[in-house]
Amino acid sequence: MNSTKQRQYVHLSQQLKLLNKNLEKTTSELQVMSSQCNKNIVGQIGKIHSSWFIASNRYFEKEMLGEGK
C-alpha cells in the first residue's frame, strides 16, 4: 500500500470516529428533548381534559337543576 493511500485511510478513520462521536451526542440530545417534550405534552393534555370535565360537569349540573331554561 502506498503512503498516499495509507494517509487517506488514516484521515478517513479520524473522520469516521468524529462522526460516530457526533452521532452519539446527537442521539443523547434527542433523547433528552424527547423526554422533555413528552412530559410537557402529557401535562398539557391533562390540563385540557380536566377543563373539559369541569366545563361539562357545570353544564350538566345547570341542565339537571333546570337553570339552563
Amino acid at 36: Q
pLDDT over threshold 70, residue 68: no
Phi-psi region of 66 (alpha: psi -120 to 50; beta: other; left: phi over 0): left
Q: What is the pLDDT of residues 10-44, one digit of tens each?
A: 999 999 999 999 999 999 999 998 888 777 787 78
Residues contacting 68, CB < 8 A, separation 6+: 59, 62
Residue 67 confidence class, pLDDT cut points 50, 70, 90: low
Do the Cβ atoms of 36 and 42 come closer than 8 Å?
no
What is the pLDDT at residue 10?
Answer: 96
pTM for the full predicted model: 0.55
Distance in Å from the first CA to the final CA of the chain: 94
Name the residue with higher pLDDT: 16 or 68.
16
DSSP 8-class letter at 1: -
